[in-house]
Amino acid sequence: MLKTDVLVIGAGAVGCAVARELTKYQLKVLVVDKNEDVGGDASKSNSAIIHTGYDASPGTLESELVVAANPMYDKLTEDLDVPFSRIGGILPAFTDEQFEKLPSLKEKAFKNRVYDVEYRTGEQLLEMEPNLNPEVKGGLYIPRESIIDPFLLVVAMAENAQENGASFLMNTRVTSIKTENGKVVGAQTTAGEIEAAYIVNAAGLYCDEIAKMVGKNDYYVNPRKGQFYILDKNTSCKVNHIVLPIPTKLTKGKLMCPTIHGNMLVGPTAENLTDKCDKSTNAEGLKSIQTDVRRLIPDVNLRDTITQYCGLRPNRNPEGLHVDTYEDVGNYVNLSGVRSTGLTASVALGKHVAQTLIGIGMPVAFNLHFIEKRKGIIRFHELDHDAQDALIKGNPLYGNVICRCETVTEGEIIEAIHHPIPARSMDAVKRRVRAGMGRCQGGFCGPRVIEILARELGISTEEVTKNQSGSYMIAGKVR
């Protein structure tokens, strides 16, 4: 039996942020997740935007957390060595009806205490974004809307938490939660029983199923599918900012923006589903993206698409972001309704959950040796020639380029495999160092990455997986 002070269920952005925050106290923290790698479900398939909260519902917990979180990212990303850029967002209006909504949108931003939102004329917006629809009448500029590498953010928070004493147990499903005398005391999992003084449900898409284990399923979660296009870095039509449509009651709409690594991201859809495993893209959804985004950027060249992907956001019914505790289920914190702003809110949620645990009796003794800094994997292509030469002299494997599209070296892949939160699958390597994320989508580098994983993990090439157990890359040898 494993024993811990706090058991965190879910290793997405929120779960990893909670774990990192809890390591600032003298506690044993254990994170379990059903997936083979950190990143959860929604955290690794979103729009990679750090929001300001300008359009959140004023007075809600979501507004409070997102607005508080945004300014935290400058220091956090520097401390954790995560790529981050404040490129700003624009909200253009093309019709009289849209233009008339701008004052209320700005007022909403001010109610959320996002005071740096400003009007821009159509001419000013076209100077900022020459590829914008020339019919633009005006719009809003939101300077602190930002982009980030969401994969590296989650990995970085997990690695920093682990360096400060947290443990991670992957490929592990929680099957039941045990209570005694009106308090949680542990959980049964596919890896055995875990004794825990406190439990935090940060299971995202599956939080309602965990809540059901303690009889607190007074809500349910439907997945909301978001399909995206990713365009080649050399696409003929680009934008410099996050270009956002006027939002509706259902969705923030379909946007176009740069990624932190220079591709263009286009989407997403907002499709309500019942199947939490349906991550397929479809022609209807992708066509709707083309139609809607071309109203913003008429010349967007979707022929430059290198891949499409789908993310599932946990849509809570009744809606709203909740951090709940219960008198009849003590020492348990239930998180639900963490939607598209969850990546942004995660760092503030970590602090909020820690304070909630303290409020229900968690012992408070600060970890005076908390380590704030974390060093990421070397990014070879970002170094100058002298630094590259010095690196290769120290380790020739950094001179062996495996992924030509993204200039990823064998040294970087090996570093990812042996980092504190290790990459043990093709997707895990891809998320950390981008091998396979270029134009050929792993067509050339894939076989070499399989060989490197097999060699470094001491397994056969037939045992290398794409992601989950059983998703083998190779069926067998032909010679």
Instruction: Give catalytic residues, as residue numbers.
Output: 51
Measure the CA–CA gap between 138 and 89, rounded to whole angstroms: 14
| Cβ-based neighbours of 78, under 8 Å, separated by 6 or more | none
| 3-class state of residue 267 by DSSP | strand
Q: Are 429 and 471 in contact (CB under 8 A)?
A: no
| 3-class state of residue 352 by DSSP | helix
Measure the CA–CA gap between 99 and 119, rounded to whole angstroms: 11
The interaxial angle of helices 426-433 and 150-163, nearest 10 deg, is: 100
Measure the CA–CA gap between 476 and 76, rounded to whole angstroms: 45
Tokens representing 182 are 């009106």
Measure the CA–CA gap between 458 and 463, rounded to whole angstroms: 10
Could you tell me where the beta strands, DSSP code E, fall in 213-362? 220-231, 242-243, 255-258, 264-267, 271-272, 305-317, 322-324, 332-336
Backbone phi, then psi, for 295, in 5-degree steps?
-70, -30
Measure the CA–CA gap between 398 and 380, rounded to whole angstroms: 7
Which H/E stretch holds residue 120?
strand 118-121
Measure the CA–CA gap between 122 and 130, rounded to whole angstroms: 11
Could you tell me where the beta strands, DSSP code E, fall in 288-375? 305-317, 322-324, 332-336
Tokens representing 140 are 């809003």
Tell me the CA distances in angstroms from 398 to 235, 405, 414, 416, 446, one per residue in order. 29, 16, 10, 13, 18
Neighbours of 403 (CB within 10 A): 27
> How would DSSP label each residue in 399-457?
G-EEETTTTEEHHHHHHHHTSSS---SHHHHHHHH-TT-STTTTTTTHHHHHHHHHHHH
Q: Are 261 and 352 in contact (CB under 8 A)?
A: no
Q: What pairing do the DSSP bridges indicate for beta strands 167-169 and 29-32?
A: parallel
| Cβ-based neighbours of 295, under 8 Å, separated by 6 or more | 94, 133, 245
